[in-house]
Structure 1
Amino acid sequence: MNLFQIHHHHCRPQALFIPQTTPPRPSLSPPPHFLSLRNPSTLHGTIKLSLTLSPFSPIYLSRRRLKFGHFRVSKIAEQVWSNGEEEKKSSDDDELEEDLSPEGAVYQKTLRLVECSMFAAVAGLAYFLSNSLAIENYFGCFFALPIVISSMRWGVAAGRKTMVATAMLLLVLSGPVKALTYLFMYGLVGLTMGTLWRLGANWGLSIFFCTIARALGAMGYVLVSSFLIRENILALITINVHAYLTYILAALGINSIPSMNVIYVIFGTLLMFNCGFFVFLLHILYAVFFTRLGMKASLSLPRWLEKAI
């Protein structure tokens, strides 16, 4: 018995015979044992396949090749779709090029991140080496400079991030004491100065607020040191000031003992004077430095300093 029988007909359509053993269902369609296609215009050839699944149930299948005229893609629609995709791709490329250009947002954010990281690393390393070599008093005026530069170039947020990054680096390298010392003595002063210079404040206001920030930082440093050594350093300072003032009054022939309130006022005045003088020197030094860097236009300098520079 031949399993596959192939017949080619060119004149009339062929029928598909599927014998069934189940009783036919009542319906309006043709009988289940007779299925045919009656459209000779769409019929090109018929291949009848006879498969024997078992000796008692032969199945005859008919494969026809039909033309489906309704499912056709328009060339115009395909062209419009391709043009739209090309325009979208070209626009995306243009946006990417604009972002990666020196004036783009992505380039500027990346440059800001790199510069802030570099300034934080330089400040932390300089403070660590100066403290390790005991030359902190000679280079202490430069420790706040990276924070001021970041604030002037990229804004107040960049200066704050530089200060925090430097403190975290010192926390890893030297521990919490050195990190807090840097924050109190140099970080607050640098952030205050950079913020006021970024906003274009005059020198009188800038020196006043920076002096307060320096004094508060010094007081914070004293309190932290007192906590660490389990000794009240502030009380020792005021007692020494009281003893010196009493000795001076006795040498002048004045028999009086100053009260503690007077001692506190004298101590605060001396602290503010010391911090104000230090901040004033920082203003002059940083003004000269920024002028040499070509950032004089962004500074608000007094007239006497502009004439001197």
Structure 2
Amino acid sequence: MALLNNRHQPLSFSLPHKPYRSASPAPNFCPRLIPLSPLRSFDNLRAVHGCFPLSQFPTRLLSFRPRASVGQSEKHAYRELGGGGEILLDSEDLGDESEVFKKTLRLVECAMFASVAGLAYFLSNSLAVENYFSCFFSFPIVISSMRWGVAAGRKTMVATAMLLLTLSGPVKASTYMLMHGVVGLAMGTLWRLKFSWATSILLCTLVRALGAVGYVLLSSFLIRENILALITINIHASLTFVFAAMGINAIPSMNAIYVIFGSLLLLNCGFFVFLLHILYAILLSKLGLKDSLALPEWLEKAI
């Protein structure tokens, strides 16, 4: 009954308690670390930092140095030295006149010109309108050479050939290189180096003629027929018929036929290159590159 009457009273039990002895040394479980200390209550984070300063930790904190600054991007480049392993800060401007910006812009423009030239040539061959747009196939190489130098024009030509090699195969890529790519590179190089128009037209005519002969030889190899011999035989038959119609009893020799064939080829290529010079000079002048061109007086006055 006494137990039932005291059921509302709290029961007290005596537990064994070992008081804390502050004079005893704190055990060190691991060397070079902070010794254990008695638990204390902290009011805020500032008290925590005051109790455990960072200087007590054995590990030295490394200072953080960002690779690039968002606010000041003109001074960002870090360069690692091979010998000492140090990190130095190099000042490099990332503005419109910087070397990094110019290299990036040159790469983008060369890729753009190469893609435009390759797709234009591919679509012209697919739609059988190559003869109407053949005068524009060399223009991307010329403008790339005029803007960024001879090396950029060469890279544009090679990139265009690689694109055509992927899209159409080696025959179309070789045809573009022989008939348009080398001519555009030669014209852009001569204009970049400020050669006169007479020298430029003469050299580009020779390059165009050699490319045309190479194209004929390539076609002869592919179809297993000597197209060059067929051309010279047809020229020989035509001249013999003309001489007979005129009452001239003479048969031209094959050497004369070769001379006539070469002269006609050079004349054809010369007219084509001359028209390309005039067309590209007008286009480049409209694009703002007139000061980079060495135009003749009559054309400069006309433009």
Same fold (TM over 0.5): yes
CA distance in 2, matches of 1:117, 1:99: 24
Which residue number in structure 2 is paired with residue 17 of structure 1?
A: none
TM-aligned CA distance change 1:307 to 1:93, over 3 Å: closer
Amino acid at match of 2:25: I
CA distance in 1, matches of 2:292, 2:92: 27
TM-aligned CA distance change 1:91 to 1:131, over 3 Å: closer
Question: Are residue 178 (structure 1) and residue 205 (structure 2) matched?
Answer: no
Q: 1:150 aligns with which of 134, 144, 154?
A: 144
| Secondary structure in structure 1 of the residue aligned to 2:25 | strand
CA distance in 2, matches of 1:48, 1:214: 94
Q: Aligned residues: percent identity?
A: 69
CA distance in 2, matches of 1:218, 1:271: 9
Where structure 1 has 5 or more consecutive residues not aligned to the other structure, the ranges are: 9-45, 50-62, 64-72, 74-80
| Secondary structure in structure 2 of the residue aligned to 1:257 | coil
Which residue number in structure 2 is paired with residue 198 of structure 1?
A: 192
CA distance in 1, matches of 2:283, 2:74: 42
Question: Are residue 219 (structure 1) and residue 213 (structure 2) matched?
Answer: yes
Please, what TM-score do these two structures have when normalized by structure 1? 0.72
**Partners of 2:117 and 2:160 within 8 A in 1:** yes
| Secondary structure in structure 2 of the residue aligned to 1:231 | coil
CA distance in 2, matches of 1:171, 1:140: 18
CA distance in 1, matches of 2:264, 2:281: 26
Question: Where in structure 1 do 4 or more consecutive aligned residues deviate above 3 Å?
Answer: 5-8, 88-93, 95-99
Q: 1:47 aligns with which of 16, 22, 25?
A: 25
Please, what TM-score do these two structures have when normalized by structure 2? 0.73
CA distance in 2, matches of 1:284, 1:91: 47
| CA-CA distance at 1:91 after TM superposition | 9.7
Which residue number in structure 1 is paired with residue 75 of structure 2?
A: 94
Q: Would you say how many aligned residue pairs link Structure 1 and Structure 2?
A: 241
CA distance in 2, matches of 1:196, 1:207: 10
Amino acid at match of 1:229: I
| CA-CA distance at 1:99 after TM superposition | 3.9
Larger radius of gyration: 1
| CA-CA distance at 1:98 after TM superposition | 4.0
Amino acid at match of 1:284: I
Where structure 2 has 5 or more consecutive residues not aligned to the other structure, the ranges are: 1-19, 28-34, 36-54, 56-61, 78-90
CA distance in 1, matches of 2:74, 2:150: 33
Alignment root-mean-square deviation, CA: 2.8
Amino acid at match of 2:193: L
Which residue number in structure 2 is paired with residue 60 of structure 1?
A: none
| CA-CA distance at 1:92 after TM superposition | 8.7
| CA-CA distance at 1:292 after TM superposition | 0.7
TM-aligned CA distance change 1:248 to 1:117, over 3 Å: same
